Amino acid sequence: MKALVLKAYKQFSYEDVPEPEIGAEDVLIRVKACGICGSDVHGMDGSTGRRIPPIIMGHEASGVIEQVGGSVSEWRVGDRVTFDSTIVMRPDFYSQKGLFNLSDYRKVLGVSCSEYRQHGAFAEFVAVPQSILYRLPDSLSFERAAMTEPVSVAFHAVNLMTNELNDSAIVVGCGMIGLFVVQALRIKGYGKIIAVDLDASRLDTALEFGADHAIKADAPDVVDQIHALTHGRGADAAVEAVGITPTIDLAIKAVRKGGKVALVGNLSPKVELPLQAVVTRQITLYGSCASAGEYPACLDMIANGRVRVDEMISAVVPLADAAIWFERLYKGEPGLKKVIVTP
C-alpha cells in the first residue's frame, strides 16, 4: 500500500509499505480521509518528542472497513466508520473508570515515542481494534467525520470544568482546537465568550463561531480589557489552547478569584507558572488530555450542524501531495486551517 512516511525530521517519503496485519479483535480500514493535526505539524520537526522517525502519522480519520478479524461480530466489511485516536491495549485502573485517555497501556495512532510506535492513517489502510470504532451517520461525509477527533478534544477540555448557566469564559488561542472550544462553550451554556489570539483572521472566525468579543493578544492591556468585560473581576473560566508561558500566564491572570483554567495546548513541554497567583487567588487548573467518551455526541453534533466544521477545512488533497501541505502548514501560511488528506 502507499503511505506517507516521516523518514527523518522534516523529511517525508510517499512510498510503498506493507499492509498492516490485523488481529482477531481488529479491523482493517480503507482510509477515505485523514486530517493533518497541529500535533503532526509540530511533531514533524522533533520538537515534541512524539513523532520519532520512521513513522506513519495521522489520527484524525475516517474510512470503510475492508476486512474484519475472526472475533469481530458487530462490524461488517463496507461499514462507514471513524475511530478514536486512543488505543487501550488492555484494561487497567484508569480505563475501568472510563478514563481510557489516561490508561497506562494507552497508545495513540500515528505516534512514535520512546515507549511505542503506532503507525497511523496517512496511508491507504490502517488497522485498529473494534473497540474504538464509531459508525458514521448516513448523511456525514468522510471529510467531516475526520473532524470528530479535534472536536472531541475541545469538548473534553470544556467538560472538565463545572459551570453555572451564563458563566463567562476566555479562549486563549483560536487555532483549530480553540475555535471548536468556542462552539463547545456556547453549547455548554456559557454566556459571554471572549476570544484572544494574535491572528486577526482567527479572531474574526471566532466571532462567527459564537464568541462575543475578540481581543488581539499583543494588545498592551489584554487583562484590563477582559476585566472590563467581566464586571471588573475576570472571567469565570478560561481554556488555554496554545501551551506556552505567555498564554498560560494570560489565562491565569484573566480569570476571577476562584476561577478555572483548562490547559489543552501543549506546544512547549515545560512552562513557567505564576504559582503565587494560582495559590493566593485559588485558581483551579485542569490538564486536558485527548478525549474520553465524547466521540458519539460529537459525531451527532457535526452531523446535525450544531458544531460547524466545514469552514475549518481549507483544502482536500491527495496523499501523494501531503508533504507539500505539511510544509505550508509548518510555515504558518496565513488563512490555512485544516487540510484533509485523501489516500
| Predicted local distance difference test score (pLDDT) of residue 56 | 98
Contact between 249 and 274 under an 8 Å Cβ cutoff? The reply is yes
User: Per the structure block, which three cell numbers stand in for 311?
Assistant: 469552514
Beta 284-287 vs 111-112: how paired, if at all? unpaired
- Specify the residue for cell string 491507504: 124
Predicted confidence (pLDDT) per residue in 167-198, tens digit: 999 999 999 999 999 999 999 999 999 999 99
Contact between 29 and 66 under an 8 Å Cβ cutoff? The reply is yes
Q: What is the C-alpha to C-alpha distance for residues 238 and 193, in angstroms, rounded to an integer?
A: 9
**Are 20 and 61 in the same domain?**
yes
The yes-or-no verdict on residue 32 having pLDDT over 90 is yes
Contact between 122 and 341 under an 8 Å Cβ cutoff? The reply is yes
**Are 189 and 208 in the same domain?**
yes
The answer to whether residue 294 is domain-embedded is: no
- Provide CB contacts within 8 A for 182, sequence distance 6+: 171, 174, 193, 195, 206, 209, 210, 211
| Predicted local distance difference test score (pLDDT) of residue 48 | 82
SS (H, E, C) 235-252: EEEEEECCCCHHHHHHHH
- Number of domains, the chain: 2
- Render 114-181 in DSSP notation, one character per residue: SS-EE--SSBSEEEEEGGGEEEPPTT--HHHHTTHHHHHHHHHHHHHS---TT--EEEE--SHHHHHH
| Predicted local distance difference test score (pLDDT) of residue 335 | 86
Q: What is the C-alpha to C-alpha distance for residues 343 and 125, in angstroms, rounded to an integer?
A: 9
Q: Which of 296, 303, 312, 338 is nearest to 152 (CA)?
A: 296
User: Per the structure block, which three cell numbers stand in for 241?
Assistant: 489552547
**Are 276 and 329 in the same domain?**
no
Predicted confidence (pLDDT) per residue in 88-115, tens digit: 988 899 999 999 999 999 999 999 998 9
**Are 171 and 237 in the same domain?**
yes
**Are 252 and 271 in the same domain?**
yes
Q: Is the peptide bond before 318 cis (omega within 30 degrees of 0)?
A: no
The answer to whether residue 300 is domain-embedded is: no
DSSP-assigned letter for residue 69: -
The answer to whether residue 134 is domain-embedded is: yes
- Provide CB contacts within 8 A for 256, sequence distance 6+: 230, 233, 234, 235, 236
Catalogue the E-assigned strands of the chain: 2-8, 11-16, 26-35, 60-68, 80-83, 86-88, 106-108, 111-112, 117-118, 125-129, 133-135, 169-172, 193-197, 213-216, 235-240, 255-263, 284-287, 313-318, 338-342
Per-residue pLDDT, averaged over 4-32, amounts to: 97
Q: What is the C-alpha to C-alpha distance for residues 5 and 17, in angstroms, rounded to an integer?
A: 9
Predicted confidence (pLDDT) per residue in 240-282, tens digit: 999 999 999 999 999 999 999 999 998 888 999 999 999 999 9
Q: What is the C-alpha to C-alpha distance for residues 123 and 133, in angstroms, rounded to an integer?
A: 18
**Are 157 and 282 in the same domain?**
yes
Predicted confidence (pLDDT) per residue in 134-156, tens digit: 999 999 999 999 999 999 999 99
User: Per the structure block, which three cell numbers stand in for 116?
Assistant: 511505542
User: Per the structure block, which three cell numbers stand in for 8?
Assistant: 527523518
CATH number, domain with residue 45: 3.90.180.10
Q: Which domain holds residue 94?
A: 2-147+309-342
**Are 82 and 117 in the same domain?**
yes
The answer to whether residue 194 is domain-embedded is: yes
CATH number, domain with residue 209: 3.40.50.720
